[in-house]
């Protein structure tokens, strides 16, 4: 009996959903997930880490993420009701592979809101230095947690408004940067190869190390796969949308970082490095653009943290509901507020404490540790499903089912290996905890993991 019926069964199972999203609807959702102004927060760290080659770094990261975006799209087309790294790896590889891929991705749920809290604290401290950074972190964490405790949801309309503000800020920045360069500011020219290759500073190790950090800006493109049940033609449009989002975001990221680096060529003078983009804005647009960028960073950071904390708390709730975590704590929903209050408060505490203890760069690389593991699992899933199980090995399908997924896997692996020792060490500790927890769940690996509701 042919195994080709497996993906079809998955599709048939979701016919009750309204399929209304076109290709361009999916692209707009994807850009909202990623955030068109992601380099605002990454510019300083990425430029310093790459020794002044951030546009090149974003080009490399775009290539890596685009290859994996195709893998996500193909898995979403095969299993449009799954919509997660865990589900893809579990179905195509093995339940244990899915578990570890999902366990690694849990870091994203915890650390992405933490990154937002850190950056909100840094930005607010930049604007009002009289108030200590730790105080801003506590205020931001408390406000975000209070909002989630009240059950406030970030709606599609709010996402559209936020992205309109970001795009408006980006257009303003591009116009002012071009005007400043033509007036002799910075490099004093619009065109230069130095941001892509400066022989006096170039280092392949620095490029790969910075690429591991810059990949963070692209995180969220995989969220398009969760819309597969709402797409008019998921088998055709999901992979196209994920690829288009990565390419569009990459072009925007390269443009922003190129212009910013041309305006401020000497990356060694950033102070502080985390908010360097704000200083670039001030150089070309004065106080007005400085505060505009600051506003975008604050609003974007808070919105991202609210959504991320809500997702993390609901992930913990789901595990508690399924008895994978203590049910009385994590499976509890407040009868009046309708929110998993204990999970929300735990996430709020972790985000505040983590923001005080961890530097932005450390938390960013830890996020990429789990994300890249998940990406590699999805890349292998494409090969396992289409090439091995469905037997699609014809010459015309060889590139799509064998070459591309292994190329995507190899690129992600190289980036993952070039994470900092700090990230690799703590990530290994996290995965070790996952192994111990898996042994506990399966009673020393004597129970079938597929029988558990993961």
CATH number of the structural domain spanning residue 188: 1.20.1740.10
Phi/psi at 423 (5° precision) = -65, -45
In a 3-state reduction of DSSP, which class is residue 38?
coil
Q: Between 3 and 283, where is the model more confident?
A: 283
Look at residue 342 and tell me if it is in a domain: no
Q: Is residue 229 part of a domain?
A: yes
Q: Give the best-scoring range by mean pLDDT among 201-215, 245-259, 332-346.
A: 245-259
How many distinct structural domains can be found in the chain? 1
HSE-CB of 152 using CA atoms within 13 angstroms: 12
Q: With 90 as the cut, is the pLDDT of residue 293 above it? A: no
With 60 as the cut, is the pLDDT of residue 1 above it? no
Tell me the mean pLDDT in the region 102-110.
Answer: 78
- Specify if 7 maps to a domain: no
Retrieve residue 61's tokens: 């990261």
What is the per-residue pLDDT for 7?
Answer: 47
> What is the per-residue pLDDT for 174?
94
Contact 203, 54 (CB under 8 A): no
pLDDT of residue 410: 92
Q: Report the alpha-carbon distance of residue 246 to residue 215 in Å, rounded.
A: 11
Predicted pLDDT at 123:
80
**Rounded distance, CA 265 to CA 274, Å?**
16
pLDDT(398) > 70: yes
- The secondary structure of residue 21, as a DSSP letter, is B
| The pLDDT of residue 142 | 87
Within a domain: residue 273?
yes
Q: Which residues lie across from 231 on neighbouring strands? A: 21
The Cα 115–Cα 304 span in angstroms is: 9
Both structure tokens of 143: 């406000």
Range of the domain at 264: 20-304+360-451
The DSSP line for 103-144 is HHHHHHHHHHHHHHHHHHHHHHHHH-TTS-HHHHHHHHHHHH
pLDDT (0 to 100) of residue 83: 53
Range from 89-98, 211-220, 292-301, 332-341 carrying the lowest mean pLDDT: 332-341
Which has the higher per-residue pLDDT, 380 or 317?
380
Tokens in use for 294?
Answer: 């600051």
Residue, of 247 and 13, whose pLDDT is higher? 247
Reference 112, options 298, 294, 307; nearest CA is: 307
256 domain residue, yes or no: yes
């Amino acid at each position: 009996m042919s195994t080709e019926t497996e993906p079809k069964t998955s599709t048939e199972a979701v016919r009750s959903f309204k399929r209304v999203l076109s290709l361009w609807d999916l692209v707009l959702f994807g850009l909202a997930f990623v955030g068109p102004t992601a380099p605002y927060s990454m510019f300083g760290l990425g430029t310093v880490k790459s020794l002044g080659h951030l546009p090149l770094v974003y080009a490399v990261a775009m290539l890596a993420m685009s290859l994996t975006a195709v893998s996500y799209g193909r898995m979403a087309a095969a299993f449009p009701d799954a919509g997660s790294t865990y589900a893809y790896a579990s179905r195509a590889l093995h339940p244990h592979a899915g578990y570890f891929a999902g366990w690694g991705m849990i870091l994203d749920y915890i650390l992405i809101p933490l990154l937002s809290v850190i950056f909100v604290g840094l930005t607010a401290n930049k604007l009002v230095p009289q108030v200590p950074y730790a105080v801003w972190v506590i205020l931001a964490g408390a406000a975000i947690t209070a909002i989630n405790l009240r059950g406030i949801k970030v709606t599609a309309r709010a996402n559209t408004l936020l992205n309109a503000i970001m795009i408006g800020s980006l257009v303003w920045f591009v116009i002012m940067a071009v005007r400043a360069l033509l007036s002799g500011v910075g490099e004093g020219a619009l065109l230069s190869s130095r941001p892509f290759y400066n022989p006096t500073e170039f280092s392949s190790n620095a490029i790969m190390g910075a690429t591991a950090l810059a990949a963070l800006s692209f995180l969220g493109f995989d969220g398009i796969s969760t819309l597969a049940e709402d797409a008019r033609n998921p088998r055709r449009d999901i992979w196209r949308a994920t690829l288009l989002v990565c390419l569009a975001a990459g072009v925007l990221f390269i443009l922003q970082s190129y212009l910013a680096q041309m305006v401020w060529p000497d990356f060694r003078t950033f102070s502080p490095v985390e908010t360097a983009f704000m200083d670039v804005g001030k150089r070309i647009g004065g106080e007005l653009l400085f505060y505009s960028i600051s506003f975008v960073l604050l609003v974007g950071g808070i919105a991202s943290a609210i959504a991320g904390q809500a997702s993390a708390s609901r992930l913990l709730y789901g595990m508690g509901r399924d008895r994978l975590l203590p049910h009385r704590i994590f499976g509890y929903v407040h009868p009046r507020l309708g929110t998993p209050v204990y999970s929300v408060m735990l996430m709020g505490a972790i985000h505040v404490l983590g923001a005080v203890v961890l530097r932005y760069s450390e938390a960013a690389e830890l996020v990429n540790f789990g994300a890249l593991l998940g990406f590699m699992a999805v890349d292998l899933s494409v090969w396992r499903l289409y090439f091995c199980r469905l037997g699609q090995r014809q010459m015309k399908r060889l590139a799509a089912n064998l070459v591309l997924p292994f190329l995507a896997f190899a690129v992600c692996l190289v980036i993952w290996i070039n994470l900092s020792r700090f990230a690799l060490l703590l990530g290994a500790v996290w995965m070790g905890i996952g192994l111990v927890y898996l042994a506990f769940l399966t009673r020393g690996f004597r129970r079938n993991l597929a029988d558990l509701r993961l």
